[in-house]
Amino acid sequence: MDRRGLNETLRLLARKYAEIARETLGDDLISVVLFGSVARGEATPTSDIDILLVVRGLPAKGAFKRRAVIEPVRERITEDLESLWQKGVYVDFVEVLYTPEEAQIVRPIYLDMTEEAVLLYDEEGFFEGILKRLRERLREIGAQRKTLGKIRYWDLTPDGTPREVVL
């Protein structure tokens, strides 16, 4: 499978994941966001499929309790993953789970999402609103996304003035 075909296959799989999440989690699901190498179209046969989910009613504490909420989604997508594994494509989903309140807190992973996130499901534009506000704030402070070889990073103080930046 060439790179373009791989990326297309993984994006379709991410869309299927979002559909299954919608069916499984129902009205508790607010947003499903694809980010990372698959969203950028740079996936390799060993890439993660990075997914951020915003879900109402997540357990307040405990990673295992939170994972249990999405386990039915993972069970329904496992056959698709195993099919890819048999073809030498060793991908898996890596989920980041937030409640709506937690999602409102700007996090470092949101920076790249402002430019490359793919909103697979977004109830009433919830997460798009978060990204829009962050984009506006990044413009206000003159932040710049820079590249050094294959590394991307954000310069939040491009004028070189040392200061604390609040996003």
* CA quadruple 131, 137, 140, 142: dihedral sign: negative
- How high is the pLDDT of residue 61? 86
Provide the token pair at 47: 């890439």
As for how many domains the chain has, the answer is: 1
- Whether 158 maps to a domain, the answer reads no
- Whether 164 maps to a domain, the answer reads no
| CATH value at residue 69 | 3.30.460.10
| Backbone angles phi and psi of 103, in degrees to 5 | -65, -25
30, 100 in Cβ contact below 8 A?
Answer: yes
| Residues sharing a CB contact under 8 Å with residue 1, sequence separation 6 or more, in sequence order | 9, 45, 87, 89
- Whether 61 maps to a domain, the answer reads yes
Q: Whole-angstrom Cα distance, residue 166 to residue 75? A: 40
- Mean pLDDT over 112-133 rounds to 98
- Whether 42 maps to a domain, the answer reads yes
Q: What percent of the chain has pLDDT over 70?
A: 100
Query: Domain limits at 79?
Result: 3-124
- Whether 108 maps to a domain, the answer reads yes
- Whether 162 maps to a domain, the answer reads no
- Whether 84 maps to a domain, the answer reads yes
Residue 167 has pLDDT above 80, yes or no: no
Per-residue pLDDT tens digits for 72-115: 999 999 999 999 999 999 999 999 999 999 999 999 999 999 99
- Whether 129 maps to a domain, the answer reads no
